[in-house]
């Protein structure tokens, strides 16, 4: 194991701090990822954008810092989240210049393959006051720009003031309190309900407000509409089958049973965006990932048509155990997105298969109210897949990152119809919002068989369930001096594991 927990095949910030994925784009024969960055310490600070690029989604070349907070309009919080667009061969970034009392949108452009960016002289190009009294000027951020039929559109996270009136916000009703010092709270109360804005422009510089996306509709609980927070980091794409997908990360979405268990959630909505009114008619709301560590995903479209999503693989309001090694911030394995009925399907990017080595296979093992290891199936930089037949067991699954003292459990609870991800004894303890909450559940219903694909990377677990209908992601920090074992287990009866395949991932 890497002693400092640094993953081998996932993007991680090389030094200092990294949060949200920004500016994902395929440009000049490479996929580019920018992300929120603070170079001077492994904690949030005035934001920069760091940049990496790849041809295989596994090896990423380090590019220079793309944006520094060096302008008067960026003092306080710096260059916050945003997106990228190619225009006449030039690479443009649109980002939020965030100050305590206002958030304004800015542009920067590169003429050298994204290595250096020049800020646009007319910045900031877009302020809340220029749009509508409906938008609260302190919460107007994370522009996602795209072009459709020759018109530019932009989505941004906002707080929406009903009838232009400021409201007393509801108390934070999530199950846990935010104890971690980010975001830096302004001294006064925030107002308005979280929403998303649609804007349109004839070019990248001139914008008009179209409307807000979320409005009361049947099957759409008040919690989504009266959010005490912002729908941060929106994204939007249309699949080849014409399905419209809206992604965003609502702050403080109240927990609802097994859903939205994180302090801040990451959602997809399937539906229809009305480009005349801005309203998004929601058909389905789902969680992108039912695990612990997922936020602010962004997508890009590849020339072959694939939609690839990369998210920040951490969570706000908790400790970051890697900070003691001078860095904090990891990103998910890029995931190929599609839809199937009401599901968003996530598949690990197929390029990862080129790095599979040392296969170990087992056709079938049966475990009866006990646990079993399979010779050759172990490790911490691997992929592991199998089909689980819960048979007569009440719980059955795998123990990962077993270092002799710690282990992380993933199991299917047949009666409850849930997959459970339990990191209560995984290693270094979490503090902050995760202090007393070490379990996440993913309701999948009653299944005769459950297919699991698991990716381990030193301190990272990503689980894809039933062909990518569900995903669960979480970081764990076991003893770095130990070998990492894997055990299959069943409780309350016997379970059968079939078609077990492990590969080492050698990058």
Cα–Cα distance measured from residue 365 to residue 370, given in angstroms and rounded to the nearest whole number: 12
Residue (of 212, 254, 215, 247) closest to 232 by Cα position: 247
Minimum CB–partner distance for residue 254 and ligand FRU (Å): 19
* β-bridge partners, 300: 308
358 token code pair: 């040392």
> Closest by alpha carbon to 54, among 112, 2, 86, 10?
10
Tokens of 208: 């008009």
Q: Which of residues 36 and 290 has its CB atom nearest to ligand FRU in the complex?
A: 36
Give least dist CB 248 to ligand FRU, A: 10
The residues of the shown chain that bind ligand FRU, judged by CB under 6 A, are 19-20, 36, 47, 80-81, 96, 141-142, 183, 232-233, 295-296
Q: Among residues 426 and 475, whose Cβ is nearest to ligand FRU?
A: 475
315 touches 295 (CB < 8 A): yes
Helix (H) or strand (E) holding 271: strand 267-273
Residue nearest to ligand FRU (CB): 80
Residue 102 vs 490, nearer CB to ligand FRU: 102
Shortest CB 8 distance to ligand FRU, Å: 25
Minimum CB distance to ligand FRU, residue 182 (Å): 8
Closer of 49 and 477 to ligand FRU (Cβ): 49
In the complex, the smallest distance separating the C-beta of residue 103 from ligand FRU, rounded to whole angstroms, is 8
What minimum distance in Å lies between the beta carbon of 383 and ligand FRU?
29
Beta bridge partners, 85, equal 92
Q: Minimum Å distance from CB 104 to ligand FRU?
A: 12
Dihedral of the alpha carbons of 359, 58, 434, 416, in degrees to the nearest 10: -50
Question: How far from 226 is each of 194, 197, 202, 215, 269, CA to CA, in Å?
Answer: 7, 15, 32, 9, 17
Q: Which CB sits closer to ligand FRU, 144 or 418?
A: 144
Residue 494 burial (10 A CB sphere; 0-12, 13-18, 19+): middle
Which residue number, 80 or 400, has a Cβ lying nearer to ligand FRU? 80
Nearer to ligand FRU, 96 or 466 (CB): 96
332, 311 contact by CB (below 8 A): yes
């Amino acid at each position: 194991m890497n002693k400092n927990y640094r993953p081998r095949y996932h993007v991680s910030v090389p030094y200092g701090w990294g949060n949200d994925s920004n500016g994902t784009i395929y440009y000049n024969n490479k996929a580019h990822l920018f992300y929120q960055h603070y170079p001077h310490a492994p904690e949030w600070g005035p934001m920069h954008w760091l940049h990496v690029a790849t041809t295989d989604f596994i090896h990423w070349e380090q590019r220079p810092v793309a944006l520094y907070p060096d302008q008067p309009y960026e003092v306080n919080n710096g260059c916050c989240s945003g997106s990228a667009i190619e225009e006449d061969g030039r690479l443009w970034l649109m980002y939020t210049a965030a100050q305590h009392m206002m958030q304004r949108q800015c542009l920067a452009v590169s003429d050298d393959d994204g290595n250096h960016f020049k800020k646009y002289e007319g910045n900031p190009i877009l302020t809340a006051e220029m749009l509508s009294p409906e938008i609260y000027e302190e919460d107007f951020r994370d522009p996602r720009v795209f072009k459709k039929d020759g018109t530019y559109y932009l989505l941004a996270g906002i707080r929406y003031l009903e009838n232009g009136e400021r409201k007393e916000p509801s108390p934070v009703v999530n199950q846990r309190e935010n104890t971690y010092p980010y975001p830096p709270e302004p001294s006064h109360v925030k107002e308005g309900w979280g929403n998303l804005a649609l804007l349109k422009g004839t070019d990248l510089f001139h914008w008009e407000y179209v409307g807000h996306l979320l409005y009361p509709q049947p099957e759409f609980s008040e919690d989504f509409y009266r959010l005490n927070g912002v729908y941060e980091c929106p994204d939007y794409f249309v699949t080849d089958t014409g399905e419209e997908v809206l992604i965003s990360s609502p702050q403080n979405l109240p927990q609802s049973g097994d859903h939205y268990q994180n302090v801040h959630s990451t959602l997809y909505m399937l539906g229809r965006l009305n480009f005349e009114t801005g309203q998004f008619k929601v058909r389905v709301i789902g969680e992108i990932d039912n695990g612990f560590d997922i936020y602010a995903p962004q997508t890009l479209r590849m020339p072959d048509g694939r939609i690839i999503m990369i998210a920040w693989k951490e969570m706000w309001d908790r400790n970051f155990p890697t900070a003691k090694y001078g860095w904090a911030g990891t990103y998910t394995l890029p995931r190929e997105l599609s839809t199937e009925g009401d599901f968003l399907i996530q598949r690990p990017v197929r390029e990862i298969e080129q790095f599979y080595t040392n296969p170990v296979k087992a056709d079938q093992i049966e475990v009866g109210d006990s646990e079993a290891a399979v010779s050759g199936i172990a490790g911490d930089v691997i992929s592991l897949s199998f089909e689980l037949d819960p048979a007569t067991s009440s719980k059955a699954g795998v123990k990962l990152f077993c270092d002799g003292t710690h282990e992380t459990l993933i199991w299917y609870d047949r009666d409850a119809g849930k997959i459970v991800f339990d990191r209560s004894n995984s290693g270094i303890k979490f503090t902050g919002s995760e202090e007393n909450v070490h379990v996440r559940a993913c309701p999948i219903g009653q299944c005769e068989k459950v297919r699991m694909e698991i990716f381990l990377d030193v301190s990272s677990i990503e689980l894809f369930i039933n062909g990518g209908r569900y995903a669960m992601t979480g970081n764990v920090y076991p003893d770095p001096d130990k070998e990492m074992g894997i055990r299959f287990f069943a409780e309350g009866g016997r379970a059968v594991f079939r078609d077990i395949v492990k590969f080492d991932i050698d990058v």
